Amino acid sequence: MRAQPGQLRGTQAEVGERDTAAGGAVRRVFVTESHDLDEARDILDRITTQDRADMPATTQRRELAALDRIEGGGADALADEYIAAVVAGAVERMRRELVVFGRIDDGAAWRIGLYGIDDAGEQLVVDWRAPFATGFYQASFDDPRGLDRRVTYVGSIQDLFVEDFLDGEVTGSSPLMTELSRSKGPAMRAAVATLQSEQDALVRLPPTERLVLRGGPGTGKTVVGLHRAAWLVYNDDRLTAGRILVVGPSDRFLRFVATVLPTLGESRIVQTTFDRLLGPSTGAGSDERWLGLLDALEADLVRPDGVRLGRRRFTADAIAELAGPVLARPLPWRDRRRAFVASVARAAGFEGTAAEAGRAVAKVWPAVSTGQAWSRVRNRATLLRLGADAGWVDAWLADDGDGALHDEVRARFEGVPATYGHVILDEAQDVSLLQLRAARRRSSGLSLVGDDAQRSNPRGLGLRRAATELGVEPATMDTAYRMSAEIAGWLNGHARRHGIDAVELVGIRPTGVPVRTAASAEAARAELAGRWAEVAVIDAADAWTHKGVEYDAVVVDAERMDPAQVYLAASRAAHELVLVGGPSA
């Protein structure tokens, strides 16, 4: 079958009749690939065995052996226990499956795999993250990138997918469609072998570039975020895995994606939630009016007055003139105070100690710790004096606190406790302004992925506003890879009927199985469980906790759900979707 211009890589489910020449070519490729895949796996086993025997380390042994020591990749001890118990076995299986998953030919044959493998100086497998491997993902019949051929397979090479760019022939079964059609399993799988060109282009953006990605459900936005994390470790010499932070929406989400980064060889990347990183957020504590109020608090703490230092006496106006420029600097309070004390000492020609100078200006510019500043933030009289609305103040003081707001106060008075080379926020449509500011303080490199149709936080910025805050244009993905075309079509209709701000999905995998309704959620679940391993019944009580997770089949108990909850719950289904009750369905 001849490829059509603009065809997605590997989306052809089956090629029809093969002519004799094409069949012979595929058989020759199969023989070669069988031999080389066996050789790569043998070398992998030998490398790993040597590492266990503590032989001299090589780059390959360090990378591969890291997969045998998976720990610490979770948000806390509970997540680490899950990784140790469940993830390690899955990673080992996927590691062997993805040793080699494809080949590109440019006169020579180059195997592409999960990590680079060389044998006595011969490059047997090229790491998928290497710049040279870009052609495997980006080549097309319109632009073959100098390649003669691309061969793709995942795990088994009994059925190769061969794209011959010289004669325009496509032969074999699509690894992408095979992967999308399979049962989901309890955890997300690495998609390194089937990344599509538009996904790969986002994964390989320069490390310093900021990304805001609006992706509809099933378009692979989480895949982009996690694979970008692994790509950054490989391609940015400034970064180690421990200096990349991935923030997800929930513990359920972290468990679902727990195998991806260890499979890609990066088990030390920190994965957590905002609740664990900063502390829980509240409605009153997430209010954007806090930024102006904290500015007012800082200004209120500086009270120019006459000061005597050494032989020099300063008037209140002179002190105000010295304090103004320093107060406006984008530095923590303690650093600005230090700079103010130094400027007063210079102006006075003072030769004493900094501590003596600090004591002289203590009433003008006091030393304030995070704890002292926070006590003012929790004080009703102080907040009202600074101009806060009484109703807002009462709502705020009824809460126990707010993690993102406390982080803002700490950053203003003492600085940021830890920084990272890159921060990736998943389900970023729900990130508040204070949470986004917390992420920005921790890294200049930011990647935000999400879906505005799945907003559940009333204080969430949404991705368009987040992009504006970061000064970038949002990217969009609309190809619904994960779910059937029938489910994608139903979601589009539901979003239009209810005015949901959703990306219009493009379904590519029709299955002939329509979205249907049922009278009983339990009966529907039992019937689906006879066909699928991962079946979920989602109701109004826990709809938002399933965000970012996917299942083979979903029963949406729409009673008491609003349209947005129905959209979120229905979009978790990959193969079958059943709706029970509720006017919103």
* Segment 462-488, tens digit of pLDDT: 999 999 999 999 999 999 998 999 999
**Does 74 have pLDDT greater than 60?**
no
pLDDT at 469: 96
pLDDT at 185: 56
| Angle made by CA atoms 573, 177, 32, in degrees to the nearest 5 | 145
Cα 549 to the chain's mean position, in Å?
13
pLDDT at 161: 85
3-state secondary structure 188-252: CCCCCCCCCHHHHHHHCCCCCCCEEEEECCCCCHHHHHHHHHHHHHHHCCCCCHHHEEEEECCHH
Structure confidence by residue, pLDDT tens digits, 370-385: 999 999 999 999 999 9
Structure confidence by residue, pLDDT tens digits, 133-185: 999 999 999 999 999 999 887 655 566 788 999 998 888 767 776 666 665 55
Query: Residue 113: which residues within 8 A CB-CB, separation 6 or more?
Result: 40, 98, 99, 100, 101, 125, 126, 127, 128
Instruction: pLDDT band for 38, please (50, 70, 90 cuts).
Output: low
Q: Identify the CATH homologous superfamily for domain 197-281+401-477.
A: P-loop containing nucleotide triphosphate hydrolases (3.40.50.300)
DSSP 104: E
Entry pTM: 0.80
As given in the structure block, the two tokens for residue 27 are 């058989």
**Does 510 have pLDDT greater than 70?**
yes
d(CA 568, CA 557): 12
User: The domain at 483-580 falls in which architecture?
Assistant: 3-Layer(aba) Sandwich (3.40)
Structure confidence by residue, pLDDT tens digits, 214-238: 999 999 898 898 889 889 888 877 7
**Where in the sequence of the chain do the CATH 3.40.50.300 domains occur?**
197-281+401-477, 483-580
Output the average pLDDT for the chain.
Answer: 82
Q: State what percent of residues in the chain have pLDDT above 90.
A: 58
Structure confidence by residue, pLDDT tens digits, 303-362: 999 999 988 999 999 999 999 999 999 999 999 999 999 999 999 999 888 899 999 999
